[in-house]
Amino acid sequence: MTTYICYVAGRGGISHIVSAMRTALVGRTTTRFDAMSAIGPAPRPGSIIEAVERSGRRVDVRWDDGIVLSTDLRFSGQWHVYRPNEAWRRNTYEARAIIEVDGWVAVCFNAPLLETFRVPDRARHPHSGGVGPDISLRRPDLVEITRRLLSYKAGDTSICDVLADQSVITGLGNVDRSETLWAVGLSPFAPVIDLSYEDCAVLVEAAARIVKSRTREDGGYEHSVYSRNGQRCPRCRGTVAHGHCEERSRALYWCPDCQQKLDRRLIPAQLVADDHTPTHPAEILYMADVRAARQRLKIDDDLTRFG
């Protein structure tokens, strides 16, 4: 009967045992867990092992209830994987942790450092709403990101701040945020409540494209506005501006000349004072055209009256 054993010496030994542990443990229900020398929480009975991860000579086992068993093997520690009722190749008193699932037993021997802990879960916080999808993945969930944008509770929050909220989207850096808003011509100060479904969908697709370009191995892309304060905008030849949204910890770059979409600051003062202040971009454009037409009519009347 085959035994997978991790030898401290030998090329690729720890990689071999980690692969064997993944095959034997991941996706299976835990029937026994003992960590004799660990002080900390233990996985609940019946919890499922989600992953076996390796970083150097540290091997971590993660359960679906958030418990992690971290073992630092250093030079003396080893993980072995056995079949049930198979004789161990080390003494029982050397065992530091035992994980048993249906058909397999994994034993950690002589690990100098061993601990268990619970990974914080943001989704458990009642005001968190969970962490948003990672847009840097190969196939990000763009539909879910769009839904979170449309359902953002604080509707008056500017879009540049919403894109920095990890409950909406993760994997979008500060550079990507400025470049994305420029790419779609959207004002960084536009309230998220003013965005339509089409606006959000186009914005998310542009963000995914820019993040993908940044992570390419062929050198990425040249910035259009980020870190180009005072330089010419490559699209409209306007002057790139620098500032911050409400979140002061991150810089923001944008072109005030071609990123005016949904910017409420551009609404005429008399319209802002009115009780029926328009918010939809089509309504704002219509009212601006009406004011321009009235001004032209007034000029024509003046010319007719005074010859």
In this prediction, what percent of the chain has a pLDDT beyond 90? 27
Question: Residue 11: pLDDT above 50?
Answer: no
Domain 126-263 has CATH 3.30.1360.10: no
pLDDT score at 203: 93
DSSP 65: T
Lowest mean pLDDT among 183-192, 229-238, 244-253, 278-287: 278-287
Measured CA to CA in angstroms, residue 106 lies from 42, 54, 71, 265 at distances of 16, 15, 13, 63
Question: Residue 108: pLDDT above 90?
Answer: yes
Q: What is the mean pLDDT of residues 37-62?
A: 87
Question: Residue 1: pLDDT above 50?
Answer: no
Q: Which residues pair with residue 242 across a beta bridge?
A: 253
Question: Residue 235: pLDDT above 60?
Answer: yes
Question: Residue 5: pLDDT above 50?
Answer: no
Instruction: Tell me the pLDDT tens digit for each residue of 140-164.
Output: 889 999 988 888 888 788 899 899 8
Higher-pLDDT residue of 285, 72:
72
Beta-carbon count within 10 A of 225 CB: 24
Query: φ, ψ for residue 199 (rounded to 5)?
Result: -60, -45
| Total-model pTM | 0.49
Contact of 52 with 59, CB cutoff 8 Å:
yes
Domain boundaries, the chain: 4-118, 126-263, 267-305
The Cα–Cα gap between 108 and 21 comes to 11
Instruction: Tell me the pLDDT tens digit for each residue of 245-257.
Output: 765 567 789 999 8
DSSP 138: S
Q: What is the mean pLDDT of residues 51-67?
A: 89
pLDDT score at 297: 56
The Cα–Cα gap between 87 and 121 comes to 39
Higher-pLDDT residue of 202, 222:
202
Q: Which residues pair with residue 241 across a beta bridge?
A: 254
Measured CA to CA in angstroms, residue 250 lies from 102, 163, 239, 242, 246 at distances of 50, 12, 20, 11, 9
Q: What is the mean pLDDT of residues 207-232?
A: 78
Among the four given CATH numbers 3.40.50.150, 1.20.210.10, 3.20.190.10, 1.10.287.3510, the one describing domain 4-118: 3.20.190.10
The Cα–Cα gap between 118 and 220 comes to 38
